[in-house]
Amino acid sequence: MKRNETYRVADTSKPPRKRKGTFNQVFDEGGKRVRGLWIRNGVYYAQVRFSPTQTNRLHLQDAKTIPQAIAARQELRRKIDRGEIKPPGAEEQEPAEELKQAGTKPGGSHTLKEAIEGYQADRDALEEKDKATAVREDSGLKKWIEFGGSTELNDVDSKFLKDFAKWRKEQAAEALEKQKKGARTVGGRTLDLNKLALDHVFDWAVTEKWLPAKPALEWKKKAKAPKEVRLIPE
């Protein structure tokens, strides 16, 4: 390069320009990638996983903004977990090469459901906990799968945990209203135990190298402190 010659450095702080007719990654106002969302010709698509080998993009018809698209994708994944939505044909299937270009992080190829089932299998095979404890733990883990089993491990954040707690409360209240057999309210201690079970799953995922490190998840304990009992005077 000559002494006075200059050259331009690419600005990587801004999201790439959207190309018409192709799927483009979605970025928020701060320029951060919104995982699981794509946009093509002004239309939002959700990238969802139906199985370890099948990932599809589904059209979010009513989503006009990024927050609406995120909410619609979350609801879509819950319907997939409940079996209400079946995998479409190969027409919209995600190509393997394009998945690599999407910048998938370590652990992104594994879902919460896969991690829970892997943890349970190892726990039971190694007899790490007595059967009664495992049964109680599994009842909570079953709820995590029901709420968002298709969620990728990297997508589990503090908001996901808060939404789970609200969903558990609403689900229990609805069951009570409909007078379902065995229905009861969900207490704070139950939610705390559900979170503890999830911690064990993340510990397992780190050991298996599905995640580089355990995520820092904010969780305010829900169980209320026991009331102080006044001692009877002598």
Per-residue pLDDT, 226: 64
Q: Name the 3-class secondary structure at 47.
A: strand
Alpha carbon of residue 215 to chain centroid: 12
CA distance 13 to 35: 17
Per-residue pLDDT, 234: 65
pTM of the shown model: 0.56
Tell whether the torsion through CA atoms of 170, 176, 181 and 187 is positive or negative. Answer: positive
Per-residue pLDDT, 178: 78
Token output for 12: 């990587």
CA distance 67 to 60: 12
pLDDT tens digit at each of 234 positions of the chain? 444 444 333 343 444 455 555 788 888 888 888 888 888 888 898 888 777 667 788 888 888 999 898 888 888 888 887 778 887 753 444 444 443 443 344 444 689 999 999 999 999 998 889 999 999 999 999 999 999 999 999 899 999 999 999 999 998 888 788 777 766 788 899 999 999 999 999 999 999 999 989 988 999 988 876 666 666 776
24 has which bridge partners? 39
Residue ranges covered by each domain of the chain: 24-101, 112-207
Q: How many CA atoms, within 13 angstroms, populate the side-chain half-sphere of residue 107?
A: 24
Task: Give the residue among 101, 75, 134 at the shortest CA–CA distance from 22.
Answer: 101
CA dihedral 157, 158, 161, 166 (to 10 degrees): -130
Residue 177 and residue 75 in contact, taking contact as beta carbons nearer than 8 Å: no
